[in-house]
Structure formats: structure tokens, C-alpha cells
Structure 1
Amino acid sequence: MHVRKPSLSGGVDEEQAEVEVSDLIVSMLERIGVEYVFGIPGGAVEPMYNAMARSERRGGLRHVLARHEAGAAFMADGYARETGKLGVCIATSGPGATNLITGIACSFDNGVPVLAITGQPPLPSFGKRAFQESACTGINTLGMFRHCTRYNSLVSHPDQVEHKLVSAMAKALRAPNGPTHLTFPVDVMRAMVMPQVSSYELTTLFRRRSLIDDGAIRHLCEEIVEARNIVFLIGGGCHEAVGPLMTLVNRLGAVFVATPDGKGLINPRHSAYRGVFGFAGHKTAEATLRIDTDLVIALGTNLGEWTSGGWSETVLNTRLIHVDASEDNLMRSPMARLHVRGRIVSVCERLLELLAFVQRPQRVDPLPSIEATLNDPDKYVSNEGLVKPQRLMQELSNKFPPTTRFVADTGNSTAWAVHYLHAQDRRLLSQDRRSVSRHHVRDERGVERRSSNSSWLRVTMDFAPMGWAIGAAIGIARANPSCPVVCITGDGSYLMNGQEITAATEEGLTVIYVVLNDESLGMVKHGQRMTGAEQTACALPPVDYRKLAEALNVPGYRIETPADFDQIDYAAILARKGPTMIDVRIDGEEPPPMGVRVKTLTGGQDE
């Protein structure tokens, strides 16, 4: 059957035939700007791979082959964080689908828009012990995904495809962001269907709305005008709002601190910055929130364990005003003086309009240096003995360009990076518009805003699977290959997911894997020590990760003392279209700044 109607690509009227369901799925992903799908093939998703191959030949969407389905989900997560677009991952039925779940759960807990597509055996075979059956009559993966997705459905008929796919994409991309899941029987993927919604303007449908509570914002203005000393707490949800938010900080003469996942959104060398509050945070941030402060405005933070300092009264008190787009996040601060729900960038822009008459000087003298915020500033610059993790963070801070994306893996890697990594922020670059154009977008009114790819440091909060950064780094680099990506990971995490480095090789991506090699599960080891637990099950075998990388055709370096840093050819690393391994033998006796975690594990007692 042929009809005259708008094309799948959004063009003018043309004769259009029925299409295979898999081609329809791919074309709709292309229409919303998805460039890459990360996954591993299998019989139950073969039609999707056929469709992606046809798309790639015409210059459309392209598949990136992961080494494990969890790695594919981590890559999709990194791609989404870098671009603000939908990250897409795909796996076959059965174990392919269950392998995705850890990565999807991570995206769910961190509010990252990811679409997971999985396959099923043909519908008529349901309940007959088909190979890798994972519908309700087998190992029910649909039921498993229900607990870690914002939309989750089995597509049992070709006529459901467009409605359910649009619903899944919308649920992922509209606030609150998060992953969604669709599972397709292979015969449904192969079926022919007449597209019904190809005339929809999907980008308009998925656009984030700038809804705000103007009454609450006016109340907030009154609080701001009456306050003497204001501290802003900037969370990871402030991506697009950083520009107007920092203008607001400067206009009000305020100072600011960041949550661990918000640190990458700000310039750590700003004169009003007072450090990180929460996990691996700084004493300066704690003191700023406690001393001579009568209003704390927290924006874009869920105030969970790591972002609230273990639910500390330092921030959870009646001085708090909580601003967030998520009602769930706002419910975690019932003691707050005021709750303001709305899109954070819109709230900040409205505040700037209402406070146009206010201009205050900065309230206190700026900190003299980055080192003044650190727990052990002498170790940050140490050139003696084994490599201190603190010293490694200084090396990474100083030797990579401001466009670098740093990704810190779960465990000690996150702790060291959050506390000691102070890279030059890209906003310190020249104002050459060509150098920053990739980091800005225009909203529906044509106003230029920083996009969600503005973070120079990415960490994963709450669910926090080991090895996440190894895959996420590839997704980030694939999304934006013009910027180097440094993955800071531990030897334990690398032994879990390190095989994904070969995907970076195949894609020709400049990803630098820095392995903190202390022959142990470092956070477990130090956590046991700090809590008085048995010292057990944390030792790892000695491994030369440089040689391991070289066996995979990846060049590398082995660093045993600070003097060995001089052997690293950073220019060559940055020029290479492929990954590099840096195996750093760190001093494993250095305890990481993980007091917040220890306090929680010990029932609120300080370490």
C-alpha cells in the first residue's frame, strides 16, 4: 500500500510505503538527533541491526559495539550527559537484557535520559521455553526493568510501535529525566507497518517546559532581600542554569559551594567558591554553611547521603531554601524554610528580573589559593616517595587542557577527584565563539544557554556501580571527539570493565585511562579500617596495566614515583586518535576523604 504523506525524515509530501518496524524505530531516533546506539547484537534484535546498517549507509545513525551490555548502558549514559540528547542502548533477549540492568539503574538514580531497547523471541513461542525467552512466561526482564525505568513496555503489535516509542522518548527527555525501556518480539520488529505519526514535530513535543511557581519565586526574592549573608549550594541538576546562576551569585555578593556532582559545573578557581559540601568535601564549605550564614539556597540537588553530608544539619535546617524541578527531591527537605519547584534555569532568570535593582559587594575576602581548601595541601604537591593520590590529582589538573572531560569512577577515584581535582574550567578560555559553540544551545526563545554538556567533571551518585566511568568515558568521547576524556578509575573497577578500552580503540577516541593501582579495592580496605571491621576480601593481585593495555594494542605508561610523570608525552597522548593507558602505582596507605560515608556506616558517629 502506498499513500501520500509527510516522510519519516520530516520532508514535504511524498509517496510513502509501509516500512519494517525496525526501520521505523531507527528513523524516529534519527529525527530527534540521536547519532549513535551502543550495544551488542543477538538473534532477537537482528532486525534492528539490519535497520541500523541501512541507516549508516545513508549517513544516519551508527552503532557502537560494546564488549558487555553493562558497558553499552554506561556508554549511552555518558553520551546523554555530554549531549543532553537521548542515549540509546540495545541488547538481545535474556542475559543481554539482564546485563543492561545495572547501567540502566545507574541512569535512573542519576536522572539521565537513556532508552534501552531489548529483544524477545517471536510471540507465538512465548511460554514454550524458547531460547533466551524473557517475557512474562520466561525470565521476566520486563518486570525487572519496571523498578529502574520511567516507562517500561512490551510492544506486542506493530500498531503500538509509534505510540509506545514516542511515550518512551518523552518520558526519558521530559523532567524528571531518566531511562525508559521497550522490549520487542523479533517478529514484531520484522513486521511491516504504515507510519502514523511521522508528521509530529517530535523535538517540540519533547522540549522541556519552563514552568515556574511565580508566587514562590517572589517569596524567595523577599528572603534574599532581607538576608545579609547568602550561600548558594549548586547541585548536579544545575547544568543549563550555571550562567544565570553565577550572575545571580555575583549580583548578590554571595558565595557558593557545590555538591560532589555539581563541582564539574562551576569554575573551582572562582573567587566566591568555597569548596565541595558532602562526600569528599572541603572544610571550607562546611564552615561557610555553618558560620555567619542566614540563608542557604540549594539548587538542583536531591539532598541524598552524598550531597547532604550524610543528611547533616549543616544544610538540613530552617535556613534552607530548596529549588528543584523534581517534587521527589523537594520532599527530602521538609524542614526547609521554602520550596521552589520549577525548571532551575527559568527560576534563576526570573530572579534576575525581579532583583535587577540589587547589587551587593562580595561578602568576604576570596580564598588565597586552591590549596587552602584541601585536607592535605602538602601531599597535593609532594614529589617524595610513592605517588600520593593527591599529587596525581594535581598532575591531572595541570597537564590537561580546559576542554578536558574528567570522569571519576566509583570508589576512591571519586573521593580523590571530588576533593583534589581542580582543573582549569573552559570558561577561562578566550572568548573565541568558535571555541565554545559546542557547549551552548539556544532555547525556544533563541536565548543562548549552556547545555547539559557543560560539566568538566562527571561522577555518579547514589547507585554508583564500579566500572561506570570506563564505559561512560567512551560515550562522552563518541559524542564529542574534539575534547579529550580522562577516565580516573581504580584497579578493581578496571578488572571489572576494562575490556571496553578496545571499543575506544575501534572508535579512534582520545580517552586516557588513569588506573589508580594499589592492588586492592581501596574504598573497601579503608572503609574497613575506619569502621573497625575485619580487614578481608579487599586484596587484588599485582597487575601491570600498561602491559595489559599493550596486549590490546593500546600504548601506555607506568608511573611509580612522581619523577616518572616527566616521561609522559602529553602532546602525543592528546594528538592520538585512540586510548592511552596510564598505570599509576599510588600510595595505597593514603586514606581517601570519605568521612561522610564512614559516618553513615557507623550510625552517625564521626570517624
Structure 2
Amino acid sequence: KIDHVFMVPGGLIDNFYPALCATPGIRTIVAAHEAGAAYMADGYARASGRFGACFVIGGPGVTNAVTALSAALTDQSPVFLLTGEVPTDWEGRGGFQDASAAGLNDVEILRPVTAYGYEVESPHLLHFHLRAALRQMMGTRRAPVHLSVPVNVQTAEIAAPYQPLASNYYAPRSLDEVATRACIEGLSGENGPAPPHRLAILAGYGVDRSGAAPALRAFAERYDIPVATTLRAKGVLPEDHPLSLGVFGYSGTRHACETLLSGEVEALLVLGSGLNQRDTMFWEKRFRPSRLLVQVDLDAGVIGKNYAVDVAVTGDCRSFLQKLAEAPQSFVKSLEDGVPLRREWLQAIRAKGPRRYEPENALSDATPIHPARAVAELRRALPREGVLLVDSGAHRAFAGHYWEAYGPGRYISATNLGPMGWAIAAGIGAKLARPELPLAVLTGDGCMQMHGMEIATAARYRVPMLFVVLNNQALGNVYLRARKMGPGPADLTEIPLKDWAAFGRALGAEGLVVERPEALAPAFQRGLAVPGPCVVDVRCGRDYATPVAPWTQAKQEWMDDE
């Protein structure tokens, strides 16, 4: 069951207030903006493993929520949106805020960003469409769904018993046994030359979704297999684990990027990643291993989409790894025979250089503060089990590279669409979903300009969380490109200095300003001890290069090839 819903009140949903206030076990959170309410529901879904629910009015409430639902769609986050609509006898007659099928048509507006949308004009059909929407939302590709309920339907008496969703909707179990057997044979070398001993794993979001992190760790440890992750799956294997290579792709580590592109990988297991642009270093040709590429995903539509695969396994990652754990002795012997070689290989990987590019940045004493130093100090301040939500901007690159995540669901970011300001509101939803875990949001001054007002929501409900604003007085990533074009383009991307700590205090939160690196640690410790939200305004430099050099090079090579 969910225990929070998120909303912005308005006339078209007035009828829901008594039930929202009187339903045991449900706490209603009022956001500052409809996008904030939907982002909170998104963050709640990602952190809880359940789904998020939000209520807004039709018309302007829906259009304000479009970007939030788009981010949820591209990251397969299950969000249920219920909107209020004008009475059915107003439709098409010029009624105020008419967004019915005869007016603005909310259902059509949201159709590209939802898996299911329907305007329920009969109370007798409400239960049917509710169940259909929930099933679609939790399907193979999780996605937002939408029901529009006219005011006169909201007040109708409906006799429909509560039916919880079956548990398998949250963690579906299915597996192509024939393809799995082909994978086992390929790794065993049963039908060809010697087994591929230089075996690596790229773990994606599907590992987290299926609850496969323990099985992944057990399999990797049993056979000493190095593991890289996508940015979305950062932490599914603790990043201080000796078999962890870190993130591959955008803002990836040296060990992951150089290993998977080295040409040394003979076999690669891709678990739960669609191999999109950022997860493959701009569809790098060298990503494909020399002998065997196995791709495992619940969604058959993404398998082989960007790379020809040797074995396509439709199924969830947990079931796949469990099947490998039960594989015949010939498979066990083949992988055990490769352990000494993989240990030597891992030693050689580490000998090529430090895990991160420019690790000295995390210790920088420079002022303005280096973003890498701020990320490193925040990592030391937040307990090991703590959760970090990361917004969109240059700070995403610094966090992806310099932050270490130690478990699934401990690093959360909208990685595919990346709307600015998402993490501010999503962090509130995530903290309400997992109140027992310390939580911080890493955001920027550009993001604060877009959705910083949601700090008022955190203050209103006394949500204990840390908002760390890397205040570089610029739209960081855009500035780093624009400055090469001259002072005029650079000026378009600069932001006048704002005191975000004072802004936070004005909204009811605590607020601290940090201008020197040695003041970071005490500020973070103080902020984490506050019995409510705290904004830490970190004055950073905007000219520090982001740790994405391999990505930038791969992008340039792609453009040159084109």
C-alpha cells in the first residue's frame, strides 16, 4: 500500500478533500506547484518500489504536470495521476477550465506521456478503468497513467470492494529458459572454442527493479567477475566492492570506461539496460565484446535495439541470475577455471591508474569551491545507508563521478529526460517514502530558479532532509560550452548571485552559506542534524571542467563519423 499522496488543491478536485483527510494510513502532501506534486510522486515511487499518486485539476493543472510525467515515462517510474474535470453537462459549452474531450482535452494532451488515459464519464466504469490503469502502470515497462474524473462522477456512490495489486506486479518473474540455456552454453564453451574467460557485467536499472542486487553480488563474487553499472543503476553493487568498476558511460569512472572499451572483454552480460546513448558512451562501437554479448531485459523491445546481440534473454534479472546459480557443473567449472585470469585482469585494470579521473579534485582547497570537493565532503557526511537525489546540470556529472553509492536505491536521478529542478521535489517524495534513511538533494542554482519553491513544502511538513545547492552563478553545463563561443553567449548562461540559504530561511527551512572548502564538513553535519529541511548554499566556481572527457571524445567521434 502507498501511505502518501501528493496534490495541489483546486475547484475541480474539491470533492476529494474529505476522503483524503479521513482515510486511515494516507497522508496528503500539498505541493507548491503541480509539477512539484508529480515530481514528489515520482520520487516516492522510485524510493519505495511501489507507485506514486498525485491529484491536480484538469486544464492548467495537467499542463503544469506534463514535464514531470514525461520524466517518469522515460525512466519507467510508475506514477498515477488523477485529475478533476468539469461536470459532463458543461462539456463543449465554453465552461471555465473545460479540459474534457470536447474542450482542451487533457487525455489527449497526456497521451504521449502516459501508458493509459481515460475520462471516466460513468461512475459504473470507474472501478474498471482504475484497475486497468493500475495494471498498465505496473506493466513490463512501468509508466505514468491518468484518469480524468468529472465533478458529477466524483460524488456518485460506487459499490466496488478494495482489491490490492498482486505482488508480482511489483517484482514480475519471467524468463526465457531456452535463451538462458544458450547463454550458459556460450559461457561454458560447450559448442565452440574455449570458454570466454574475460567476462564482465554491465548492470542496469533492471537489476534494481527486479530486486536482483544480492543475486548479482553473489554471482560476481563466486566467479570474480568485474561489474560496471549504468548511471541509473549506480550502487546496485557497492562501489567500494573490489569487483566494482564503477559507472560506465556519461560521467563514468576510468576503470569502467577503459575496461569495457579496451577490446579485452570477451563476453559481456548486460543486465537490465536498454543500452541507450548515455549508457554506451554514445553507442561506442568498441563497447561490443569480441565473442559473446548477452542482453537480459523484461522488455523484449529493447534487446538488440542498438547492438546486435548473440543471446537475447527476455526476462527479469533476478530469475536469470538465479538460473545461472543453478547451472550444471560444466558451467561452474568453466567459470571457475577463468577465475585466476580474471583476478590478474582486475589487477591490471587497477594498475592502469586511479579509479577516477583527476581524483585530486575531491581534495581541492581552491576557492571558489571545487564541485568535486563538495561532493566528496557530502559523501563523508552522509551515513553509508544515506540516499542522494541528483538534479540536472553540471553537478550531475560531478556526482556521477565522485560520489560513491553503497546499495540499490541509494543514488536516484532522472537520467533520461533530466528536467531541471526535478530532484528538489522528488527528494521530498523519496524521504517520505523512506523516512528511516538520511537523505540529501544535490542541486544547482539554475534548478533552484525552476522548482526551489518546493522547499516550502518540505518546511511545511518538517521533512528532515538536506538541500545542497552548488551555486556557481551559471547554467553550468551550458556555460562551459557557451564560454568557448565568446563573452556574449557566456553571458546568456550566467545567473546573478542569489543567497539560497536566505531563500530557504524565508520558506521556513534552515539555511547556511559555505564559501570555503574547510567549512563544508561542519555545515553538512549541522544541516543533517536539523529536525527539518536545511538548505546549504555552496559557493562553487563555474569554470571547473566536468569529469566527462571520455564521453565528450566519444561524442565527437560519433559526429565525425556522421
TM-score by length of 2: 0.91
Partner of 1:523: 477
Instruction: Determine which of 275, 292, 313 is the counterpart of 1:303.
Output: 275
Q: Give the Å deviation of 1:81.
A: 0.7
Partner of 1:219: 182
Partner of 1:235: 204
Partner of 2:192: none
Instruction: Determine which of 226, 240, 246 is the counterpart of 1:275.
Output: 246
Q: Give the Å deviation of 1:121.
A: 0.3
CA separation of 1:287 and 1:379: change in aligned 2, threshold 3 A: same
1:96 aligns with 2:61: yes
Question: What secondary structure, in the 3-state scheme, does the structure 1 residue paired with 2:17 have?
Answer: helix
Partner of 1:465: 419
Distance 1:531 1:182 in 2: 47
CA separation of 1:474 and 1:305: change in aligned 2, threshold 3 A: same
CA separation of 1:322 and 1:536: change in aligned 2, threshold 3 A: farther
1:263 aligns with 2:234: yes
1:492 aligns with 2:446: yes
Q: Give the Å deviation of 1:529.
A: 4.5
CA separation of 1:590 and 1:311: change in aligned 2, threshold 3 A: same
Report the AA paired with residue 446 of structure 2: G
Report the AA paired with residue 524 of structure 1: V
1:556 aligns with 2:511: yes
Of 342-351 and 319-328, deviating more is 319-328
Distance 1:131 1:580 in 2: 40
Question: What secondary structure, in the 3-state scheme, does the structure 2 residue paired with 1:321 have?
Answer: strand
Give unpaired runs (5+ residues) of structure 1: 1-32, 427-453
Q: Give the Å deviation of 1:558.
A: 1.0
CA separation of 1:603 and 1:184: change in aligned 2, threshold 3 A: same
Partner of 2:191: none
Q: Over residues 493-536 of structure 1, what are the superposed CA-to-partner deviations in whole Å (9 max), with x where a residue is unaligned?
A: 01110010111112221211110111110011113346899435
Distance 2:557 2:493 in 1: 19
Distance 1:355 1:385 in 2: 59
Partner of 2:84: 119
For 1:134-533, what aligned pairs fall within 5 Å after superposition? 134-195=99-160, 198=162, 200=163, 202-204=165-167, 206=169, 208-225=171-188, 226-239=195-208, 240-291=211-262, 292-316=264-288, 319-354=292-327, 357-358=332-333, 359=336, 360-361=339-340, 362-363=342-343, 364-366=345-347, 372-423=354-405, 425=406, 454-529=408-483
CA separation of 1:237 and 1:499: change in aligned 2, threshold 3 A: same
Of 572-581 and 101-110, deviating more is 572-581
CA separation of 1:539 and 1:569: change in aligned 2, threshold 3 A: closer
Question: What secondary structure, in the 3-state scheme, does the structure 1 residue paired with 2:286 have?
Answer: coil
Report the AA paired with residue 53 of structure 1: C
Partner of 1:565: 520
Distance 1:141 1:478 in 2: 29
Identity of aligned residues (%): 28
Partner of 1:546: 501
Is residue 464–residue 533 contact of structure 2 (8 Å, CA) maintained in 1? yes
Q: Over residues 426-477 of structure 1, what are the superposed CA-to-partner deviations in whole Å (9 max), with x where a residue is unaligned?
A: 6xxxxxxxxxxxxxxxxxxxxxxxxxxx321111122111111001100010
Of 550-559 and 154-163, deviating more is 550-559
Q: Over residues 231-250 of structure 1, what are the superposed CA-to-partner deviations in whole Å (9 max), with x where a residue is unaligned?
A: 10011221111110111112
Q: Over residues 538-590 of structure 1, what are the superposed CA-to-partner deviations in whole Å (9 max), with x where a residue is unaligned?
A: 111110111111222221221111122254261x4333221111111112110
Question: What secondary structure, in the 3-state scheme, does the structure 1 residue paired with 2:53 have?
Answer: strand
Question: What secondary structure, in the 3-state scheme, does the structure 2 residue paired with 1:587 have?
Answer: coil
Report the AA paired with residue 296 of structure 2: V
Of 143-152 and 355-364, deviating more is 355-364
Question: What secondary structure, in the 3-state scheme, does the structure 2 residue paired with 1:132 have?
Answer: coil
Q: Over residues 4-27 of structure 1, what are the superposed CA-to-partner deviations in whole Å (9 max), with x where a residue is unaligned?
A: xxxxxxxxxxxxxxxxxxxxxxxx
Is residue 310–residue 597 contact of structure 1 (8 Å, CA) maintained in 2? no
Is residue 179–residue 313 contact of structure 2 (8 Å, CA) maintained in 1? yes
Partner of 1:61: 26
Question: What secondary structure, in the 3-state scheme, does the structure 1 residue paired with 2:306 have?
Answer: coil
Q: Give the Å deviation of 1:122.
A: 0.2
Report the AA paired with residue 345 of structure 1: R
Is residue 88–residue 114 contact of structure 1 (8 Å, CA) maintained in 2? yes
Q: Give the Å deviation of 1:222.
A: 1.5
CA separation of 1:75 and 1:262: change in aligned 2, threshold 3 A: same
Q: Over residues 344-383 of structure 1, what are the superposed CA-to-partner deviations in whole Å (9 max), with x where a residue is unaligned?
A: 1111111111156343355334576999121111111112
Distance 1:202 1:236 in 2: 22
CA separation of 1:276 and 1:566: change in aligned 2, threshold 3 A: closer
Is residue 42–residue 91 contact of structure 1 (8 Å, CA) maintained in 2? yes
Distance 1:370 1:114 in 2: 44
CA separation of 1:598 and 1:379: change in aligned 2, threshold 3 A: same
CA separation of 1:115 and 1:316: change in aligned 2, threshold 3 A: farther
Distance 1:566 1:315 in 2: 39
Q: Give the Å deviation of 1:316.
A: 4.3
Distance 1:473 1:164 in 2: 30
Q: How many residues align?
A: 540
Is residue 173–residue 316 contact of structure 2 (8 Å, CA) maintained in 1? yes
CA separation of 1:316 and 1:124: change in aligned 2, threshold 3 A: farther
Is residue 513–residue 537 contact of structure 2 (8 Å, CA) maintained in 1? yes
CA separation of 1:355 and 1:174: change in aligned 2, threshold 3 A: farther
CA separation of 1:42 and 1:509: change in aligned 2, threshold 3 A: same
Q: Give the Å deviation of 1:193.
A: 1.8
Report the AA paired with residue 207 of structure 2: C
Q: Give the Å deviation of 1:201.
A: 5.3
CA separation of 1:119 and 1:371: change in aligned 2, threshold 3 A: farther
Question: What secondary structure, in the 3-state scheme, does the structure 1 residue paired with 2:153 have?
Answer: helix
Report the AA paired with residue 365 of structure 2: N
Question: What secondary structure, in the 3-state scheme, does the structure 1 residue paired with 2:490 have?
Answer: coil
Report the AA paired with residue 372 of structure 2: Q
Distance 1:43 1:152 in 2: 21
Is residue 264–residue 458 contact of structure 1 (8 Å, CA) maintained in 2? no
Partner of 1:80: 45
Distance 1:396 1:372 in 2: 21
Question: What secondary structure, in the 3-state scheme, does the structure 1 residue paired with 2:440 have?
Answer: strand
CA separation of 1:548 and 1:204: change in aligned 2, threshold 3 A: closer
Distance 1:157 1:487 in 2: 43
Q: Give the Å deviation of 1:79.
A: 0.5
CA separation of 1:574 and 1:350: change in aligned 2, threshold 3 A: same
Distance 1:262 1:599 in 2: 21
Q: Over residues 197-227 of structure 1, what are the superposed CA-to-partner deviations in whole Å (9 max), with x where a residue is unaligned?
A: 54x4533573543111001001111222221
Distance 1:344 1:223 in 2: 18
Is residue 299–residue 344 contact of structure 1 (8 Å, CA) maintained in 2? yes
Partner of 1:11: none
Question: What secondary structure, in the 3-state scheme, does the structure 1 residue paired with 2:246 have?
Answer: strand
Distance 2:106 2:200 in 1: 45
CA separation of 1:53 and 1:600: change in aligned 2, threshold 3 A: same
